[in-house]
Structure 1
Amino acid sequence: MTARLVAMSFEARTPKSVAGFWGSMLDRDVTETDDGFLLPGSPTQVGLAFHRGSQNRLAQNRAHLHLTSTDAADQHRVVAQALDLGASHVDVGQRPEEGHIVLADPDGNEFCVIEPHNSYLAGTGFLGELACDGTREVGVFWSAALGWPLVWDQDEETAIQSPAGGTKVAWGGPPVAPRVGRSRQLFVLAAEGGEPGDLAAEVDHLVGLGARLLSVDQRGHGELADPDGNEFRLRPA
């Protein structure tokens, strides 16, 4: 049994506007949900969601997006489009000789526009990678939880990818920044089948893989934590 990855959800001060930014960047429709706004994904592109959260940011984000480019002109076009939509340049310690360009969306979430001809992200599509802070253990956990094979497993760095291809989800290995408060980004999963028993069975499956059950709300939706302590949500399909 495996769960389906619905989206990576970002806590946002202005979820509607930042969802609109990413909808324009990724050319996706924005759907309003019970707790925010969703940019649905596809079999090869990870969905994104935005929910309202605290304005106090206690630590740097533990995940950020990588957008790909086909050539130098395309990289310039993507950067220019993002800036026109309200993004800004940001310095996270990148070196001048590195080819990627680091920006922040209007809500302050960092993302990178990757240099053209990057072989690691070849064939992944425009949303090439969701790059996360985390251990090898958590990469192995998510591979098993989603049924996505490990496509990179070296020097404690891991990456997984849908069997259909597309967006990679990666963890950079140690040193892992200490956790401060709740995660501002979390995975939203759907238990296939849609029946209450399917949800309970998927919780048991995830716990068996190394997750911890944190809570269940009045709708029966679960909040769990992966082996690194990162919260994630499980709901019916």
Structure 2
Amino acid sequence: MALRLVQVNFKAGDDSALGRFWADALGWGVASEGPGVTNAEPPGFVWPDPRAFYIDFVTVPDPETVKDRVHLDLATTSEAHQAELVARLKDLGATPADVGQGDVPWTVLADPEGNVFCVLEPREIYRDTGPIAAVVVDCADPQAMVRFWGEAVDVTVHEVTDDHVLMRSTEGTGPYLELHRMPGTRTWWNRVHVDLLPQPIDGKEAEVDRLRALGATDLDVGQGDVPWTVMADPEGNEFCVLGRA
């Protein structure tokens, strides 16, 4: 298996402004591969280093405003750190968000373009993930979806329940990939999706064929002739398999 979860991609109204917010939020740097694209990169790594995790922000003409099925959870090391991080994020432009979470120990916020994310209370499991604890994907059936994602990418599955699946790179680095049960059928495209990096990158076509055999489907979102392949998992969540530019 030679696919790694390497980044998340945000559709943006203003890639530069949104990228700067997230880079400042995470303590990362920013770069750009061209007009309309901003990259947030952790210090000490250069794309496409597979040991690191990145975020891309891409300006699109009409970003959707529906609830996304993919969001980020941010890690904290103490209650004081959680409070300090929430305050700093609000100073950067984040706002409180109510997604029906009720009385919970984590804080739900929205970035300046409305993308919801969570600042978690300190949890031992996320002590070594870096600032991003997890990439969370809502789905109707986590146990069915783990059969796809557990084989699609190079991960170790750590926990499986009826409502929740927890997995992470086999090398024990970067954020967790989490599947959470969320009733309802998705009828929109996500503003946030995950990108997968083949290793080696010249093996992309073989990996795409393998994903099709696992149940992924090809997807046309108007991407045109690009070096990456846009696909959807068995529940219709988009993702990209990256190729050589």
Q: TM-score, normalised by structure 2?
A: 0.85
**What is the CA distance between 1:45 and its match in structure 2?**
5.5
1:205 paired residue among 196, 207, 210: 210
Residue aligning to 1:168? 176
2:192 paired with 1:191: no
**What is the CA distance between 1:232 and its match in structure 2?**
1.4
Q: Any gaps of 5 or more consecutive residues in structure 1?
A: none
Q: Deviations over 1:21-79 (max 9, x none)?
A: 11111111112124622223676653211112354535211111111222222111101
Q: Given the superposition, is the C-alpha separation of residues 9 and 74 from structure 1 closer, same or farther in structure 2, using an over 3 Å criterion?
A: same
Q: Distance in 1 between matches of 2:39 and 2:136?
A: 20
The AA in structure 2 aligned to 1:101 is: T
Once superposed, what is the RMSD of the aligned Cα atoms? 2.2
Give the total of aligned pairs: 232
Equivalent pairs: percent with the same residue? 31
Larger CA deviation: 210-219 vs 182-191? 210-219
Residue aligning to 2:94? 87
The AA in structure 2 aligned to 1:102 is: V
Q: Any gaps of 5 or more consecutive residues in structure 2?
A: 43-48
2:37 paired with 1:36: yes
Q: TM-score, normalised by structure 1?
A: 0.87
Residue aligning to 2:138? 133
**What is the CA distance between 1:140 and its match in structure 2?**
2.8
1:102 paired residue among 93, 100, 108: 108
SS of the residue aligned with 1:30? strand
2:165 paired residue among 151, 155, 158: 158
Larger CA deviation: 50-59 vs 86-95? 50-59
Residue aligning to 2:239? 232
**What is the CA distance between 1:213 and its match in structure 2?**
2.1
2:65 paired with 1:78: no
SS of the residue aligned with 2:105? coil
Q: Distance in 1 between matches of 2:232 and 2:81?
A: 38
